[in-house]
Amino acid sequence: GLLPMVASYSPHFGEEAPLVGRNGSGTIFFAGCNMRCEFCQNYTISQCGAGTAISCEDLADIMLHLQERRCHNINLVSPSHVVPQILRAVAIAADRGLSLPLVYNSGGYDSVATLRLLDGVVDIYMPDAKYGRDGVAWELSHARDYTSRMQAALVEMHRQVGDLILSADGIAVRGMIIRHLVLPENLAHSEAVMKFIADEISRDSYVNIMAQYHPAWRAAEGGRSPVLAALQRPITAREYAYAVQCAKESGLSRGFS
């Protein structure tokens, strides 16, 4: 079968606090992606294919190496297109003593059939909930039917692992962390995303509302449409505050302030 392409791996301290703890999140960045976001901040990895093909045995070795580095978890970034290879590597690593929680860190554009293969294997799901409308999802990420696919995926993820559970010292043990990147001009339709999470997933959902958008990849090149033109600046404080207000008004309270 096809070998997984790995761009990098290391203890990572830039993730959510419940994943990082004191020793970092054992992050493995897979090259490639099943989305094509015009503003991707990791575009050299996701779009340009920067990475090295490795065997499933080598991938298992990486997981065990990160465990030896005392990372709190194994964080699989952009895993959606290499799930069979990940399952093989996890089986090998588990036979050799891997015991850390597995984090599935995706763009939310996952099939329910694929996620069901991961039931009982993944401990923590960390999907994006990028958009509340399909038109923008297609124009900005070339992901057809994104909202319905993302919503079905998040329902399945939550069915498997539930809301986020933390250890006594605040480290994620099991559950779901949802990420939402605020975009200029409310292009992500944050109100629709937050309402879906509160009404269809759980009001106890842990939602990281992210403010770090900046023009990258094709979004930095200039506007080929009004939507792309709007992406040529960072977000404002008011735009971020609106997304937080949407979350609070929907009844959400975890993961943001």
Report pLDDT for 186.
97
pLDDT in tens, 140-174: 998 989 999 999 999 999 999 999 999 999 999 99
Percent of the chain with pLDDT over 70: 93
| Structure confidence at residue 51 as a pLDDT band (50, 70, 90) | confident
Confidence check: pLDDT of 218 > 70: no
| Structure confidence at residue 106 as a pLDDT band (50, 70, 90) | very high
d(C-alpha 17, C-alpha 220), whole Å = 30
Q: Where are the domains of the chain?
A: 5-250
| Residue 175, both tokens | 């559950």
Which CATH code for domain 5-250? Answer: 3.20.20.70
Q: Could you give the C-alpha distances from 203 to 92, 160, 184, in angstroms and in order?
A: 37, 17, 26
d(C-alpha 28, C-alpha 60), whole Å = 11
Confidence check: pLDDT of 121 > 80: yes
Q: Are 213 and 181 within 8 A, CB to CB?
A: yes
d(C-alpha 250, C-alpha 244), whole Å = 10
Report pLDDT for 96.
99
β-pairing, 25-30 vs 52-53, is: unpaired
Confidence check: pLDDT of 253 > 90: yes
| Residue 65, both tokens | 């190496």
pLDDT in tens, 165-199: 999 999 999 999 999 999 999 999 999 999 999 99
Q: Which is more confident, 250 or 218?
A: 250
Confidence check: pLDDT of 219 > 90: no
Taking residues 68-94, report their average pLDDT: 98
Q: Are 60 and 96 within 8 A, CB to CB?
A: yes
pTM of the model: 0.95
Report pLDDT for 220.
58
Q: Which is more confident, 225 or 205?
A: 205
